[in-house]
Amino acid sequence: MRHTRMAVCSAAFLLATACLATAPATAQGAPRTAAMGYVALGDSYSSGVGAGDYLPGPAHCKRSSRSYPMLWAAAHHTAAFAFPACNGAHASDVLKDQLTALGPGTRLVTLTVGGSDAGFATVMTTCALGGTDRCLSAVSRARAAMDGALPRDLDRLYSAIRDRAPAARVVVLGYPHLYHLMGTCQAGLQDTERAAIDRAVDRLDTMIAERAAGHGFAFADVRSAFTGHEICSRAPWLHSVDLLRLTESYHPTALGHSYGYLPALDRAS
C-alpha cells in the first residue's frame, strides 16, 4: 500500500496502456437458449476482477469463482445460473451482449455497471500521473459524464432487462469509496484528491440508485460495508495500484466480495 510516487506513476501508465488494449467486453459463455433462474450482469465489479481464481472462458472478462455472484449462487444452491458479466463493460455492452440469458423464467438479476461509463480508469490514471489540478479536473469530467449520457444509457438498459425478465427481482449494486482518508498510506495521492474521488463515487451511486428506483429495482449500497476497509485503511478490501496485476488495481479483493458485496446482495435479494 505504501508505493512511492514514481512506482504509482509507472503503474498508472501501464494501467492506461492495458485499458486501451482491453478486448471488447463481450459476454461469451452466456446461454443462448433457455432462460436462467439467476443471471449476473455487469462490469469488472460484477465479474470479480481482483478476487482471483478466474474461471475458464474469455480471459479478458476475468470472471472469478470468488465474485459475489458466484458466492451467492453457491450459497443458495442455484442450479440455473448464468454469469455473462465482463471486465470493462459499459451499460451499452451489457445491453448488447449480456441479456441473452434473461427470460420469463428468470427470478433474480444482479448488476453492477456505470463505473466504466463514467471513466474511472481514466480518472485514476490521471490522478496518479498528473498531480492535484489535473486529477480534480478528471474527476469533474467524470461527474459530467454521470450527469450526461449515463442516466439515459442506464434507463435503456434497465428497460430492456425488465422487458426480457418481467418476473425477476433486479438488484443493482453500487460502488464502494476507494479511499480511507487520513489513513495508512505514506505516498501517492493527497487526501484532497482521495476525497474528490470518494465524492464522485457518492454521485455515481446516487444517480444509479435513482435510476434503479425509477424502474422498480432494488439498490444495494456497499459503502457502509466497506467503511474501514478502503485503500489506505488498516484492513483494505480493495487493491491499490498493483505492478504485477495492473488490471486488478482499484478493485475489490476476495474479502471485499465475500464480506462487502455478498451481504449487501443477501439483504437486497
Catalytic residues: 44, 251
Longest dimension (CA), the chain: 53
Whole-angstrom distance, CA of residue 147 vs CA of residue 179? 23
For the chain, list the strands marked E by DSSP.
38-42, 81-82, 108-112, 169-173, 218-220
How many CB atoms neighbour CB 119 within 10 A?
19
3-state class (DSSP) for residue 175: coil
How many CB atoms neighbour CB 207 within 10 A?
19
The CA-atom distances, in angstroms, between 182 and each of 88, 179, 237 are 30, 9, 17
For 64-177, list the strands marked E by DSSP.
81-82, 108-112, 169-173
| Pairing mode, strands 169-173 and 218-220 | parallel
